[in-house]
Structure 1
Amino acid sequence: MAQKQYTVTGMSCEHCAASIREEVSEVSGVREVEVDVAGKAVTVHGTGLDDERLRAAIAEAGYGVVDPVAA
């Protein structure tokens, strides 16, 4: 299973985390989404993960994305 991790800007509470989880979970191939509000990190596990679609899903939830962190 592949993994991608992102630093997310504008995230400050569990509501933010839930919004991100909901949007990212809808991307094809995503199996699990971990959100660390304090660390401003989103980790996505799955197969065939598409970086552009994951970034778009985070943006759709209303948050900014910094370049992926090496996993």
Structure 2
Amino acid sequence: MATPLVIFVPQASQVDIFKNEQLIFSQYLEAGYQHINTGNFPEGGYELTIKIGPSNIIRRFFSKGSSLPPAYAPQFYVI
């Protein structure tokens, strides 16, 4: 189970995604909202650096692992 990864690409561009400066995804994507296939991303929780085109950089937290609850599961907090 992984955090869904959807990004907005303002115009058709090369998209590169890095985990700790290591390239883990690279693809030319069309403009619009794009769902990124994270099947080959490493397990764990970490920050992604997403480079869209030559100058647009965003950061997102991402988590993937077999022990994570599904996205639709109720969330409980202990205070």
Query: Which bin holds the TM-score, normalised by the shorter protein?
Result: 0.3 to 0.5
Q: TM-score, normalised by structure 1?
A: 0.38
Instruction: Name which structure has the greater RCO, CA cutoff 8 Å, separation 6+.
Output: 1
Instruction: Compare the two structures and name the one with the higher strand fraction.
Output: 2
The structure in which a higher percent of residues are helix is: 1
**Which structure has the larger Rg?**
2
Compute the TM-score of the two structures, normalised by the length of structure 2: 0.36
